[in-house]
Structure 1
């Protein structure tokens, strides 16, 4: 990946990015083609990232996190995704799965669970979607019934990243009436009796990232695994997604940057009609548009992250960043395939993989149509709610 001029606040952050680039070159890029081709989940790589302290970067050091601002964490994700999309996405999803306990758990719950979640030994999954409730998340049907000091959970969750390989699952379940106010959040260990996983999905891209349905057949969870109060789960879910969407934006920027770099390198070397193809104005313009899209996506993502780090509202800005960055990633990877021509369509070059991976980023953690709804509704609420 071309060295990007980074906005980093401390020498420690610069050292962190240097470490991530070294890991990407030495451990990620040599493995990605084989794992993606065979659809093998790289659990050993996540263990290495955990040992390096990269699975809890934006959370407090007192609970085992890295204490890094979101502006730094997102640039780490970008570097990881540029080297191997599955790794960037996996770190983002794990960070999302830790969020309910970190932000809404009691002090006792944080002390009990966060060190394991953030310390690198565990991997998490975030379970909101169901087969009948994707964008309409408030329509979820998985139910948890209180039985003495336990909840009994029955239902299923769909499209779960790390389904079957996670150590813990953050479950959004229905404990009350229909609608968002009847939803609660429960923490389940992977080994809970009655929790099982269906066969992994066969996907267009991110093939080494395991995605599967999580099946819940009378799973009994102690009542102290309720995160927040009953009925607050939907608010927890939406709050988590505001941050999670920035993670997806970072992955999109990383993949788009990698595709741009590959296209520029190829265009400098490939000769047609007696000159390098990058010297043809038509292709120069295409590359210039690609570079502009990547740079604009990065700046929009970091602007939202700065608001988050400053304690300001950032949900609308996160929706904008996710929308713009993932659409840009789809366009840039498509154009990268075009620049390489036939070479871009075969697996010998990674641009075809980035093209396949870009598509799902427009779908996960809220489709881009949902992001437009979020932004549009903020405008409809009036000037004080509109993004600035």
Structure 2
């Protein structure tokens, strides 16, 4: 489905309004209470932002990677937690499409078409982070039909509030498979919600599979194809518009606040923004953010153009985007705190929250060290 540019522009205007009127005013309270923002999710659903990647016949617009990146960037200016909610849900929707058959997709899409459902991506375990092959969760065929899943996933975003859980498990020693687990599946349980440095309200916690029974249709594709989903297309696709886009939103928000503060704060009878040292800091932040934005947008354009057969250098560009944008967000938010001076260290001002939120994106979706390993490997093969 080709989305008209006028429609895209109108959609982004709606997202900007939601960010300004709904998300930003709630950010400080959510950060303080760490409560999941059900009210914001309701607004996202009412405006079709949770169904963007569904086919048109199910109420979606089949949003591509570039449009998703722009929407996620915009909501993340208000609060990163909202960007992460969209990332988790649309990651699962698009990855399920890679392997699911028509019957599975119809059931999945129909359930999500109500517009208010969320999805949770379940890969990471206590001893399996960047090394996904080290996961211990198992799936065994039940003699009477279906599968029995056992294991614990950690750091799962939307762990207690989702409709579906995309679970990766071993169906044999060297065979990783993907299962779409509904929230009502017997044996699906939840553990603690993590008390994190930032990204408050994201419901990040444990997903426990305790002899969890799912029917045969829960298996996506064939046994062993889950790894191919992750390695070849899936993670590259979601990284291109995921952590990178959220980081852009966080960084731009920090810069915007820093600029406004530099215009208002006076020292020595001058606005602090009139001092060359502050102006140079702002200029560097703006340059780095714009460079990151162009890299992220171009990467998503290439992903959309090549999908599902991404070229090796496009995989490298995905890692470049994730790594560079998140590093820039960390630097820009730190500089914003510095520009605010002592007030930047006080929770009354948003830059303190933005700096805490920025840090996690250098870690999740593959650490930035791992991204550099991927980039280097592609360059050496090239």
Q: Give how far 1:128 is off.
A: 0.5
Match of 2:43 among 40, 48, 57: 48
RMSD over aligned CA atoms reads 1.4
CA contact (8 A) 2:176 2:223 kept: yes
Deviations 1:67-93 (A, max 9, x none): 233222211111100011110111011
Match of 1:271 among 256, 266, 269: 266
Deviations 1:299-343 (A, max 9, x none): 000011100121252322111100000000000000000000011
CA distance in structure 2 between the aligned counterparts of 1:77 and 1:19, rounded to whole angstroms = 13
Residue in 2 that maps onto 1:241: 235
CA distance in structure 1 between the aligned counterparts of 2:112 and 2:95, rounded to whole angstroms = 12
CA contact (8 A) 1:185 1:233 kept: yes
My pick for the range that moved more, 228-237 or 128-137, is 228-237
CA distance in structure 1 between the aligned counterparts of 2:321 and 2:164, rounded to whole angstroms = 29
My pick for the range that moved more, 45-54 or 200-209, is 45-54
Gaps of 5+ in 1: 1-7, 383-388
Match of 1:163 among 154, 159, 170: 159
Q: Give how far 1:243 is off.
A: 1.9
Q: Give how far 1:110 is off.
A: 1.0
CA distance in structure 1 between the aligned counterparts of 2:340 and 2:223, rounded to whole angstroms = 54
Residue in 2 that maps onto 1:311: 306
CA contact (8 A) 1:333 1:355 kept: yes
Q: Give how far 1:360 is off.
A: 0.2
1:39 aligns with 2:34: yes
Residue in 2 that maps onto 1:251: 246
CA contact (8 A) 1:102 1:114 kept: no
Q: In structure 2, the residue corresponding to 1:157 is in which secondary structure?
A: strand
CA distance in structure 2 between the aligned counterparts of 1:69 and 1:162, rounded to whole angstroms = 23
1:91 aligns with 2:86: yes
CA distance in structure 2 between the aligned counterparts of 1:69 and 1:155, rounded to whole angstroms = 33
Q: Give how far 1:185 is off.
A: 0.3
Residue in 2 that maps onto 1:222: 215
CA distance in structure 1 between the aligned counterparts of 2:181 and 2:267, rounded to whole angstroms = 59
User: After TM superposition, what 4+ stretches of structure 1 lie above 4 angstroms from structure 2?
Assistant: none
CA contact (8 A) 2:254 2:351 kept: yes
- Equivalences, count: 372
CA contact (8 A) 2:147 2:215 kept: yes
Q: In structure 1, the residue corresponding to 2:72 is in which secondary structure?
A: helix
Residue in 1 that maps onto 2:19: 24
Residue in 2 that maps onto 1:106: 101
1:350 aligns with 2:354: no
Q: In structure 1, the residue corresponding to 2:349 is in which secondary structure?
A: coil
Residue in 2 that maps onto 1:153: 149
Match of 2:186 among 193, 202, 212: 193
Deviations 1:47-74 (A, max 9, x none): 2212211113244323432223322221
CA contact (8 A) 2:187 2:209 kept: yes
TM-score calculated relative to the size of structure 1: 0.93
CA distance in structure 2 between the aligned counterparts of 1:320 and 1:56, rounded to whole angstroms = 28
Residue in 2 that maps onto 1:366: 366
My pick for the range that moved more, 97-106 or 18-27, is 97-106
CA contact (8 A) 2:166 2:181 kept: yes
Q: In structure 2, the residue corresponding to 1:31 is in which secondary structure?
A: helix
Q: Give how far 1:117 is off.
A: 2.9
TM-score calculated relative to the size of structure 2: 0.94
